[in-house]
């Protein structure tokens, strides 16, 4: 086996470490891999061109990343925090539970792209959850903010993972069908999807409990930190 083509991976790592242009790094790494695999430069160009024409739909996803970055640069997070702070009765727990329900229902009908970490969690959900928690519990430490962001990301994962199993055209459902078919059990994808509904409901209930427990512990930690700070302020300095 020829291991020399793996040098392209080292080229990618080195290029990213040096903070070079990502597109240039990928193209150069592709040429390094192709030449190491004893392909001619024209063959490498043919492979790159074929991959580009066949995967052009990925550009629609890639274009969302700079758009989200531009919106963040112009204050998207801050506006989301201010907006949720003005809502009466809005709490971090209620916000995450509502998003979880929406994410599961949308994924169950195949609309898996309506959420996600780069386009929804980072610019909208996490800042809104932080804003709701800060409005209700006061100033948060950096550690608490990181915990809230992690819970927001986990909420998206749970909603997507257990919601898409209910969609009959999802790859995992078809994989389950083929597995049973290989072992002599003929099952319809609709049957498999319907049996995913109880699991999705249980996952929703369990994560709701996790979110509520997390918010309760967050309130306790913030109150304890405030009490310690107040006690430290009352202590006379020597």
Over residues 20-36, the pLDDT tens digits come to: 887 788 888 889 998 88
Q: Is 28 found in the same domain as 145?
A: no
Percent of the chain surpassing pLDDT 70 = 85
**Within-domain flag for 123:** yes
Q: Are residues 215 and 98 in the same domain?
A: yes
Q: Which residues contact 30 (CB under 8 A, 6 or more apart)?
A: 8, 44, 47, 48
Query: What's the structural domain count of the chain?
Result: 2
CA distance 85 to 88: 8
Same structural domain, 22 and 91? no
- Whether 67 maps to a domain, the answer reads no
What's the pLDDT tens digit per position in 114-154?
888 878 888 888 888 988 888 888 788 888 899 999 999 99
- Could you tell me if 217 and 111 lie in one domain? yes
In a domain, 141, yes or no: yes
Predicted pLDDT of residue 15: 87
Same domain? 86 vs 45: no
**pLDDT above 70: residue 58:** no
Instruction: Tell me: do 30 and 95 sit in the same domain.
Output: no
143 and 38 in one domain?
no
Distance from C-alpha of 27 to C-alpha of 17, rounded to nearest angstrom: 16
Q: Distance between CA atoms of 44 and 57, rounded to whole angstroms? A: 21
User: What is the total residue count of the chain?
Assistant: 238
Q: Are residues 109 and 47 in the same domain?
A: no
| 61 domain residue, yes or no | no
Specify if 219 maps to a domain: yes
In a domain, 32, yes or no: yes
pTM (2 decimals)? 0.66
Whole-number Å distance between alpha carbons of 159 and 108: 9
Looking at the structure, do residues 209 and 149 belong to the same domain, yes or no? yes
Task: Indicate whether 52 and 85 sit together in one domain.
Answer: no
Does 227 lie in the same domain as 161? yes
- What is the residue range of 46's domain? 4-56
Q: In whole angstroms, how far apart are CA 196 and each of 126, 164, 186, 189?
A: 28, 9, 17, 11
- Mean pLDDT, the chain, rounded, equals 82
Whether residue 27 lies inside any domain: the answer is yes
Judge whether 69 lies within some domain: no
CB-based contact 123:167 (threshold 8 Å) = no
């Amino acid at each position: 086996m020829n291991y020399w083509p793996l040098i392209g991976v080292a080229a990618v790592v080195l290029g990213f470490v040096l903070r070079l242009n990502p597109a240039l790094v990928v193209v150069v790494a592709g040429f390094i891999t192709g030449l190491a695999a004893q392909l001619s430069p024209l063959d490498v160009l043919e492979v790159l061109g074929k991959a580009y024409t066949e995967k052009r739909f990925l550009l629609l996803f890639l274009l969302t990343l700079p758009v989200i970055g531009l919106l963040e640069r112009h204050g998207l997070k801050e506006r989301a925090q201010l907006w949720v702070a003005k809502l009466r009765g809005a709490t971090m727990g209620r916000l995450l539970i509502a998003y979880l329900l929406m994410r599961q229902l949308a994924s169950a009908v195949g609309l898996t792209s309506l959420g996600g970490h780069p386009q929804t969690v980072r610019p909208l959900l996490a800042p809104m959850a932080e804003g709701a928690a800060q409005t209700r519990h006061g100033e948060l430490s950096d550690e608490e903010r990181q915990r809230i962001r992690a819970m927001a990301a986990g909420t998206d994962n749970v909603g997507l993972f257990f919601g898409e199993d209910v969609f009959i055209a999802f790859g995992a459902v078809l994989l389950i069908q083929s597995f049973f078919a290989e072992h002599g059990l003929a099952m319809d994808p609709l049957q498999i999807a319907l049996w995913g509904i109880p699991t999705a409901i249980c996952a929703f209930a369990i994560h709701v409990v996790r979110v509520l427990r997390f918010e309760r512990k967050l309130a306790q930690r913030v109150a304890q930190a405030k009490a310690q700070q107040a006690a430290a302020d009352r202590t006379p300095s020597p």
